[in-house]
Amino acid sequence: MKYIKETSKSVEQAVADLQAAVVRHKFGVLHIHNLQETLEKKGVDFPNACQILEICNPQTAKDVLMVDMDLNMALPCRVSVYSEKEKTRIGMIRPTAMLELLSNSPKTAKIAEDVEKAVIAMIDEAA
């Protein structure tokens, strides 16, 4: 259900490299959530760096939503870059697994498969 790759890079470098890979694959970064920073602003000390990138290919998102508008709740794709036990990891929940739970449409299954291949390639390039 998850795809996670370890890297020797820092979280910051892996995020920068992931952003570049996202652009190369004709996706865009909609937002980056810095979880550690957000928790600290709320008075919660959290030791692990964690940045969550929301990424999307606009045409692909439209294609999914034209089949099933309810799937807007599963968009955009989220890729996390985080530290754990002194290692940096880049990971996601596989779109195929998530959409399989939410839709029985063969069309969305094919779209999820294509998106998953692209995002895995992005993660591998950034790692």
Instruction: Count how many Cα atoms sit within 13 Å of the Cα of residue 8 in the half-sphere of its side chain.
Output: 0
User: What one-character DSSP code corresponds to residue 73?
Assistant: G
Pick the CATH number of 2-126 from 3.40.50.12160, 3.40.50.1000, 3.40.50.150, 3.30.310.70: 3.30.310.70
Nearest to 87 by CA among 36, 48, 124: 48
Q: Which amino acid does the sequence have at 28?
A: G
Note the maximum CA span of the chain. Answer: 45
In angstroms, rounded to a whole number, what is the distance separating the alpha carbons of residues 77 and 115? 9
pTM of the model: 0.94
Omega into 76 within 30° of 0, i.e. cis? yes
pLDDT tens digits, one per residue of 41-99: 999 999 999 999 999 999 999 999 999 999 999 999 999 999 999 999 999 999 999 99
Q: Where are the domains of the chain?
A: 2-126
